[in-house]
Amino acid sequence: MIEKLYSLKKIQSDQKMMFRAEIMNSIDLYNEQIEELKKSITTASVDRFGAISDFKVLEIHKNTLKMNVRKLESQRSVLLVKLKKLNAEIVELQKQKEQYAYILDEQKKEAFKKILKEEEEASSEFVQSKYIVG
């Protein structure tokens, strides 16, 4: 039973670790997109002798880019919250897994001690029977 619980916790923690990696990759993608948009905002321009309407269009474009940056930052912050929660779950699963591993180890030690004791009893009975017969 303990072995099944141990393997279950191990599988669960492995799945959480994979999910964590996916979230971290998504966060990295958001960071890259945010940096690209910020760069686009600072480098966007119009012709030097363009019409006044060009400046209005440029301002609308920059505002749209800023809105996209805010949107991506909010999505990134949601993922960061999920990541923090997931890290806490992973730590808890690893603690449980270590507890079950310790119990399994103790059970193995007890079983080994029991086998040694049985072998010792069997060998002492053999020696005693040899002296009785001999």
CB-CB contact of 37 with 68 (8 Å): yes
- Rounded to two decimals, the pTM is 0.64
Return the closest-CA partner of residue 73 out of 107, 24, 104, 32. 32
Q: How confident is the model at residue 82 (pLDDT cuts 50, 70, 90)?
A: very high
Is pLDDT above 80 for 54?
Answer: no
pLDDT at residue number 48: 62
Mean pLDDT of the chain: 87
